[in-house]
Amino acid sequence: MATPHPDLADAPLLRAARGRPVRRVPVWFMRQAGRSLPEYRALRGEGSILDAIRDPALAAEITLQPVRRYGVDAAILFSDIVVPAAAIGFGVDVTPGVGPAVSTPFRTKADLDRLRPFEPEIDAPYVAETVRLVVDALGATPLIGFAGAPFTVASYLIEGRPSRTYGRTKAMMHGEPALWHQLLDRLADMAIASLLAQVEAGASAIQLFDSWAGSLSPDVYQELVMPASAKVLAALEATGVPRIHFGVGTGELLTLMGDAGADVVGVDWRVPLDVARSRVPGKAVQGNLDPAVCLAPWDVVADRTRDVLRRNGGRPGHIFNLGHGVLPELDPGVLARVVDLVHEEGHSDGG
């Protein structure tokens, strides 16, 4: 890996993730690299996102674009949660405007044979190469590596495409718990291998995306999902990098998602940030401006941004973000102003 920049350990994002005071609240945006940026659209062209991810020079440049444009406090690796499954040949692609598509979904025990262990340096060496290029270019700005959590990746492999109900996924989870646990365990190992390789190559924080966990009740989450995510987060502990754990609509799961082994719990816009903080005592939080609010006039955006900061109330351990990804139709100029506002007005005591 590249030699870490001497100031990296003091980066506001890493300090906030560890609950330390900061002079300015760090901010980055989920899906900051993407179709809202004209420079992204110009570079990406028409091909599959998976082809772009397999090209380290291109993927590194796309990762850096939002850092240059917005002055955000972190980059997030340009990749996707289905990259490891695609790399071992499970038969996954990503349909533009829709999301992951699986040609032959996971339905029976026999499908376990299609999920061999993921070996990052053999199956997807381009990921570590991209990380190295990005980390060299970023200097004192952290790179966040990421993986899909076992439940969310399982939902794509089982449904075969994005789903509103997760019907087949829930049918398997409740109807065939032994198979479900085997599947989740393999996906946990896949996420672990992927995250460790990213950290080894130089990522200085990681985010585990359990985007669709909010479709579950707390008892079901705790029994059938949390153990696999906890295995992933525990496996990262020894690396010492902060672990962010995020899902959409997870207000009722925040405490459990923290207990799964996160240092930072990501919060969507449905739970006010002060309430979210009370559900994850002792942990940092990340969020939680509604991405759709950013389509409203600037005064409204500024007002809602200040509301997030006010609800945090200057406490250490806040990373500003949206409650979910940037909407493709958003004017990037608005996000640049949000970054400036958070940097001007956000602080935490003692920093």
Q: Which residues bind ligand CP3 (CB under 6 A)?
A: 30-35, 44, 49, 76, 78-81, 94, 96-100, 146, 162, 209, 211, 325
Distance, in Å, from the CA atom of 189 to the CA atom of 170, rounded to the nearest integer, reads: 21
Tokens of 141: 């700005």
Is residue 337 part of the annotated active site? The answer reads no
Interacting residues of 344 by C-beta distance below 8 A, sequence separation 6+: none
Judged by beta carbon, residue 191 or residue 316, the one nearer ligand CP3 is 191
Instruction: Examine the residue annotation and report whether 168 is marked as an active-site residue of this protein.
Output: no
Which residue bears the tokens 């079901």?
Answer: 220
The least distance separating ligand CP3 from the CB of residue 34, rounded to whole angstroms, comes to: 4
Q: How far is the CB of 281 from ligand CP3 (least distance, A)?
A: 25
User: Catalytic: 306?
Assistant: no
Strand locations in 107-199 (E): 143-148
Helix crossing, 167-175 with 177-201: angle to 10°?
Answer: 110
Residue whose token pair is 């340096």: 121
Cα–Cα distances (Å) from 195 to 65, 171, 191, 214, 233, in that order, read: 22, 29, 6, 23, 10
DSSP structure string for 92-114: EEEETTTEEEESS---SGGGGGG
Q: Could you say which of 156, 210, 221, 268 is catalytic?
A: 156
Least separation in angstroms between CB 213 and ligand CP3: 10
Nearer to ligand CP3, 49 or 224 (CB): 49
CB atoms within 10 A of CB 238: 8
Q: Which entry of 15, 40, 69, 80 is annotated as an active-site residue?
A: 80
DSSP code of 19?
A: T
Q: Which of 80, 88, 42 is closest to 61 using CA atoms?
A: 42
Respond yes or no: is residue 69 known to be catalytic: no
Three-state DSSP at 88 gives coil
In terms of C-beta density within 10 A (0-12 exposed, 13-18 middle, 19 or more buried), how is residue 240 classed?
A: exposed
CA distance 76 to 15: 17
CA angle 246, 248, 252 (to 5 degrees): 90
Tell me which of 15, 44, 54, 69 is the catalytic residue.
Answer: 44
Residue number, 22 or 75, with CB nearest to ligand CP3: 75
User: Minimum Å distance from CB 136 to ligand CP3?
Assistant: 19
Query: 18, 24, 31, 168: which is the annotated catalytic residue?
Result: 31
Looking at 18, 35, 304, 306, which residue is catalytic?
35
Is 80 one of the annotated active-site residues of the chain?
Answer: yes
Nearer residue to ligand CP3 within complex by CB, 162 or 314? 162
CB of 34 or CB of 316, closer to ligand CP3 = 34
**CA Rg value for the chain:** 19
Angle (CA) 245 249 254, round 5°: 45
Element (H, E) at 39: helix 38-44
Count CB neighbours of 30 within 10 A.
23
Kindly list the catalytic residues. 31, 35, 44, 80, 156
